Amino acid sequence: MVSRTLLKAVQDLPHRSLLAWRTIEVTEAGRAGQAERALGLFEAMPVKNQVAWNAALAALVDGGRTDWALSFFRKMPRRNATSYTTMIGGLSRAGGAAAARARVLFEELPLDQHNVFTWTAMVSCHARNGEPGKAVELFVALYGEFFARGMLPNAHTLSSLLKACVGIRSLAMALQLHAVIIKLVGEGARYCFVWNALIDAHAKLGVLSDAEKVFYGMQYRDVCSWNIMMDGYSRHKLVDSALHLFRMARKKDAFTWNIIISCLGENHLGEGALRLFIDLVRLDGQCSVNAKLNASIYTTVLHVCSVLVLLPFGRQVHGRVIKDGIGQSNVSVSNSLLSMYSSCGAMLDLEQVFEEMTVRDIISWNSVIQGLGQNGLGKQALAVAERALELKMYNGNTFIAILTSCSHAGLVPEGLGYFDGMTEKHGLELTLDHYISVIDLLGRAGRLEEAYDLLRKMPFAPNAVAWHTLLHSCLAHKNSVVGSIAAQELRALQPNSSRGDYERLVQGCGCSSMADETLDGNEKSADHTPGCSWLT
């Protein structure tokens, strides 16, 4: 903030200098997030030039007052390329339908008044808002005309385009941009972010060797460079290479540790991941260490605990979360705690974490319903489900969790009631996964003919998961008729599987006499697992 002493010192400045000083005040207030104060200072200016108008607009944008900024933008007596760049950037950060409004503004400015900054702002807006194809199309459409005017893309343009290349999975364009970057972009610390984006694009598009060439050829690398290359190795399951880079990195931040812990966890090396977490805990608080334990690291470690079913370790992590003041208000960490306690069968802990959460999302409710249901507490799961439905905190996966809970608890009438009310009462569209859940519900209860009838009449083509679900129920209840039909359908859907498992299942259903007729020796049963993701 500008001090009063300085304000007094410039009271006698010439008119132009005073105007510049007032504009600086507006800019500083905007950067401090004080949009109202910035606009008040602007309104108090006796004379306003284009720079002052743009500074006030930027203050509103920086303060996140997008709608106010757009209204102010429309009232400006004159707008130039800087005005449009600022407004497009603000709409870009607003997300949603704002990206389309930004494109309208971009098209509104005559082409001969555009510069590299308006061009870059619009390309970045498309890339940032899940429209990578439009970002590339815009760049290609204007490149020739802008090039003829001597207007070349800058480092920020190219960085946004590399992100768009990943979005549209275009390795060909990434390689072309690589050549452009070599010609136009320097290699100093100032442009490190562009080379980092290039490493990321090559790694995500499957050309890890090119990512390595860029990384090891860089004259200057920051901590992001190391993190992105390490993440590339992790994506390609090159654990040893990722570990080597981790050990070689002189500077490590929270992302560095999170990447390597995730890498080990995702590659079935959970114990190694937890050892690294312990190392980080021991380092936490040291002045020489930049990495701090954060929500992302805790989420990753709790997931590893869930996979390994390490309840004691998970409880220690929970204690550390509470100590750091992260848990109750951080929905991501709290959801990870719910998942961990659910996997470990600790239902009292699960319920306590849920009740203590100050912020809950739909995943939170789904996690509790699923956890209670899978651990044999079907009626408690339904009680939580009723709360979720009353609060409108549900989606299609909520009902998969509900139906699964009913299935495990044998609550057939209740499950069918929820299934029947999904569309009319709750406005949700039935999916194949919902039908499979009801087939499992009926099959576990021994109502195999009803399950088979539902499978035949559902508005989806039955997949292997649906037939497996029915077949396993037939095995449990020794129904030879429906079991042999399910086996035949599985053979048709999976002709390249082995014979043994299907034949064993059919024989277990009491229909061994039909086994040779229904199986040709090329089938294998898959595990009986739900064909859906409950929490996402």
Residue 531 is predicted with a pLDDT of 35
User: What is the dihedral sign for C-alpha 209, 214, 217, 220?
Assistant: negative
- Is there a contact between 263 and 236 (Cβ–Cβ < 8 Å)? no
pLDDT of the chain along its 536 residues, tens only? Answer: 444 444 444 444 444 465 676 777 777 776 777 778 877 877 777 777 888 888 888 888 888 888 888 899 999 999 999 999 999 999 998 877 788 899 999 999 998 899 999 999 999 999 999 999 999 999 999 888 888 888 899 999 999 999 999 999 999 999 999 999 999 888 778 899 999 999 999 999 999 999 999 999 998 999 999 999 999 999 999 999 999 999 999 999 999 999 999 999 999 999 999 999 999 998 876 644 566 788 999 999 999 999 999 999 999 999 999 988 887 779 999 999 999 999 999 999 999 999 999 899 999 999 999 999 999 999 999 999 999 999 999 999 999 999 999 999 999 999 999 999 999 999 999 999 999 999 999 999 999 999 999 999 999 999 999 999 999 999 988 888 898 899 888 888 887 765 445 555 555 545 443 333 333 333 333 333 333 332 32
**CA gap 376, 381 in Å, rounded:** 9
Determine the Cα–Cα distance for residues 434 and 440; give it in Å rounded to an integer. Answer: 10
Q: What is the pLDDT of residue 291?
A: 67
Task: Write the DSSP string, 183-201.
Answer: HH---SGGGHHHHHHHHHH
Per-residue pLDDT, 223: 94
In one-letter notation, the amino acid at residue 330 is N
Structure confidence at residue 329 (pLDDT)? 79
Q: In 3-state terms, what secondary structure has residue 53?
A: helix
208: helix, strand or coil = helix
Quote the pLDDT of residue 363: 96
Q: Where are the domains of the chain?
A: 431-536
Supply the Cα-derived Rg of the chain in whole angstroms: 30
How far is it, in rounded angstroms, from Cα 90 to Cα 57? 10
pLDDT at 69: 86
Identify residue 462 by its one-letter amino acid code.
Answer: P
Q: Are 177 and 146 in contact (CB under 8 A)?
A: no
Answer whether 69's CB lies under 8 Å from 94's CB. no
Instruction: Convert 214-239 to b/e letters by CB count within 10 Å (16 or more is b).
Output: bbeebeebebbbbbbbbbbbbeeebb
Ordered DSSP codes for 212-242:
HHHHHH-S---HHHHHHHHHHHHHTT-HHHH
Query: Would you state the pLDDT for residue 14?
Result: 47
What is residue 34's predicted lDDT score, i.e. its pLDDT?
Answer: 72
Cβ(354)–Cβ(348) below 8 Å: no
- Give dist(CA 363, CA 397) in Å, integer: 9
What is the predicted pLDDT for the residue at 527? 39
Query: In sequence order, which residues have a C-beta less than 8 Å from that of residue 399 and are 6 or more positions away?
Result: 418, 419, 422, 426, 428, 434, 437
Distance from C-alpha of 125 to C-alpha of 289, rounded to nearest angstrom: 35
| C-alpha span between 416 and 397 (Å, rounded) | 16
Enter the tokens of residue 226.
Answer: 């190391």
Cβ of 78: how many Cβ atoms within 10 Å?
8
From CA 508, how far away is CA 505, in angstroms rounded? 5
Residues 205, 209, 212, CA angle at the centre, nearest 5°?
A: 100
Please state the length of the chain.
536
Angle subtended at Cα 101 by Cα 96 and Cα 105, rounded to the nearest 5 degrees: 150
And the tokens for 305? 């605990």
From first CA to last CA, the distance across the chain in angstroms is 45
Q: What is the pLDDT of residue 523?
A: 38
Q: Report if pTM > 0.85.
A: no
Q: What is 105-173 written as a DSSP string?
A: HHHHS-GGG--HHHHHHHHHHHHHTT-HHHHHHHHHHHHHHHHHTT----HHHHHHHHHHHHHHT-HHH
* 155-168 helix and 192-204 helix, angle to the nearest 10 degrees: 10
Per-residue model confidence (pLDDT) at position 285: 63
Tracing tokens 């992001």 back to the chain, one arrives at: 224
Q: Could you tell me where the DSSP H helices lie in 445-526?
A: 448-457, 464-477, 480-493, 500-508, 515-518
Interior angle at CA 185, CA 180 and CA 190, nearest 5: 150
Closest CA to 338 of 355, 326, 325: 355
- 406/411 Cα distance (integer angstroms): 5
Q: What pLDDT score was predicted for residue 148? A: 86
Residue for token digits 């090119």? 210
| pLDDT at residue 320, rounded to an integer | 92
